[in-house]
Structure 1
Amino acid sequence: MKDENLLFRPAVRVDLEGIVGMLADDNLGRTRENPELPLERSYEEAFQAIHEDPNNELIVAEADGQLAGVLQLTFLPSITYRGSWRAMIEGVRTASSMRGRGIGRELILHSIRLAEEKGCRLIQLTTDKSRPDAIRFYESLGFSPTHEGMKMRLDKGDGKE
């Protein structure tokens, strides 16, 4: 179901506190993010790096004038697939107060359209194995678990992922 009052746009600096708040507002996010104000400088630095990189987009969804969702879309050139581009989706969240309205679905579909416009051959994402609802959601959009994702933590500090 498409929300008629839904708008997608690049994130701007004033969105950052709300974005971090959405990222922290779930079981895994609570262990990884710190939404306390003032925000840690690392959030500001990451926002600036994304903003300045032409192959990265931090996209927000607004519904009824409120921040409703976020994701990061990264475009990656690749030698594989005959030198084609691919897109990677990260950090997908819908504001908890706005879940169930189809906002996340529309945000992902918007990202797929952007990847197609860029000429990407494929779009990929990862989701934590402990999120069965998210896995079902992505599968309902046409994503399939064709690969086994692997990660390695480089900062062994706090044990948070």
Structure 2
Amino acid sequence: MDRLSKDEMALWHAWKRASEVVRARIVEETAAGASAPLSDPDFGVLTRVAEDGGGVLRQNQLAESMGWHRSRLSHHLTRMEQRGLIARRPVDDGVEVRITDAGRALVTQTRPLHAAAVRRHLLKPIGKAGQADFLAALERLLAAHEGRNG
């Protein structure tokens, strides 16, 4: 068969539209409540450095956790560094990314806004009962494309 069935096409379009709309609403609400401009990628960097690294994270670990190419991350970090949200320094075999006080303050302020938006636009519509199945389906999808079980 060289084309998607009607049901397959409906699933494909629903997944694309739902992921675009839900993500856009979460990003929009999170940004609207922040005291300073903070993009979704900024928030992703800051939360990973603050939470996963305890305030410091190797740049290559950060790139891997975000699923970004190292050059894309480097360019983004340069812009964040210019805004005073992170600082970088060379270390043995790499670069260390540190969250600044300004970055920590912004992510602390933004985290509850983000959580409320995720709950409102993703978790509530799925319902408590559907969350485990949805997570399992997404993990299978990722595993198939990240070289695990696929």
Using structure 1 for the length normalisation, give the TM-score. 0.30
Q: Which has the higher contact order (CA 8 A, sep 6+)?
A: 2
Q: Give the number of the structure whose alpha-carbon radius of gyration is greater.
A: 2
Using structure 2 for the length normalisation, give the TM-score. 0.31
Which protein is richer in strand relative to its size? 1
